Amino acid sequence: GAVVSQHPSWVICKSGTSVKIECRSLDFQATTMFWYRQFPKQSLMLMATSNEGSKATYEQGVEKDKFLINHASLTLSTLTVTSAHPEDSSFYICSATSGRAMETQYFGPGTRLLVL
Amino acid sequence: GQNIDQPTEMTATEGAIVQINCTYQTSGFNGLFWYQQHAGEAPTFLSYNVLDGLEEKGRFSSFLSRSKGYSYLLLKELQMKDSASYLCAVMDSNYQLIWGAGTKLIIKP
């Protein structure tokens, strides 16, 4: 099956620093990648959709200057949380599809971010 | 607006059968997904329905009625490892996934 990896799996950082999270599709070409955030006991919240080679589409209420997304290749997308604050502490999950309509999203294992 | 409804929590006994319902109202319909999510982990794909009817996959089955905006996930021969949250998600006319809040399933011995 399709495998998606994320790195790092967890990170602790000081307030004001930037954190980069990588999402890789290991055995397929991901033309579309999604970034989600999930707070405890809540469902997934889509942050943005990124297509390879183009700018990400952000959901309403998500600051694009704070959450920088780069999808430079068909197997890699990165999410950078700039100037992180404690309220950014969350579980960040990426998913990927090969871009065909109605394609199943395959999820990475998630990155747990704790901002002190 | 778009809306996915599923129960917040359900409890069942090991070895029994449980049905988790999901109703939806979305802008268009391009399929309904069920995902399983264990605590602290990312979701894993369980099933996809786009046509009416029942799809069976081992101990898990998923049913869809498009006219009623309704789906259910049926879990048979429950095992303790089935304790997890089950997420219903509908793909709308823009091929965006609309997520339900998830149903936490608690299995008791």
B40-68 pLDDT per residue, tens? 888 888 999 999 999 998 999 999 999 99
Residue B45: phi and psi, rounded to 5, are -70, 135
Q: How far apart are CA A103 and CA A67, in angstroms?
A: 25
Strands across the sheet containing A4-7: A4-7, A19-25, A76-81, A67-73
Residue A15 is predicted with a pLDDT of: 96
Average pLDDT, chain A: 89
What is the C-alpha R_g of chain A?
13
Which range is most confident: A31-35, A71-75, A90-94, A104-108?
Answer: A90-94
Question: What helix, strand, coil percent values describe chain B, rounded to 5?
Answer: 5, 55, 40
Tokens of A71: 């999808």
What confidence tier does A97 reach under pLDDT thresholds 50, 70, 90? confident
Average pLDDT of B29-50? 91
**Which positions in chain A have a beta carbon within 8 angstroms of at least one beta carbon in chain B?**
34, 42-46, 49, 91, 93, 101-102, 104-110, 112
Q: Is the dihedral of CA B33, B36, B39, B41 positive or negative?
A: negative
A17: closest CA of chain B, how far (Å):
24
What confidence tier does A103 reach under pLDDT thresholds 50, 70, 90? low
Residue B46 is predicted with a pLDDT of: 92
